[in-house]
Structure 1
Amino acid sequence: MMAGNKSDLNHLRAVSEDDGQALAEREGLSFLETSALEATNIEKAFQTILTEIYHIISKKALAAQEAVASTTLSSQGTTINVGDASGNTKRGCCST
């Protein structure tokens, strides 16, 4: 997340909101302007960050579960057909 702070000091602005938004988009970030003095978007900034962290962690957990599931499936072994008599040779009970 990219946050522009002190949005209440508009007369001292060094970067326009549009420029900040454009930079955030180029970098793949969300963008929000905040002002602690006016209590503007402070809570929203924290909520957005926590939501993004939650999504990242959820994606990683899901990927890990899928990796374990695919490993388990691929290591289950070979299927043996019990009805296949080609490998059976009958012997007497006392034959050597």
Structure 2
Amino acid sequence: MLTINDTLNDYVEEVSKILSATVLDSPVRFNEIRYSVDGRNESLGKKIREATAMKIPVQLIIGPKDKENNEVSVRFRKNSEFVEEKVTLQDLAEFIRKI
């Protein structure tokens, strides 16, 4: 998870609970999602570049507007390039399972 600023800790915690409760269908270690939060005081562009360089396949971008709208921006690789979609918290677990 990549945060835009450090005022979103409560919302990041809410998203973390959803991710922790999500069980994947594909066989990975215990079918759990591995994730971390990048809450550093760096620009979002730098965080995205670093996550991409580390080959992180799915990046959740969380900003103030996402919190307002009860959603997250999901950035993931599709057909060899990254795409970004807005997903509501209600649909997040199912969306993650599908990609």
- Report the TM-score range of the alignment, normalised by the length of the smaller protein: 0.3 to 0.5
**Greater relative CO, 1 or 2 (CA 8 Å, sep 6+):** 2
Greater strand proportion: 2
Over alpha carbons, which structure has the higher Rg? 1
Greater helix proportion: 1
Provide TM-score, normalisation by structure 2.
0.33
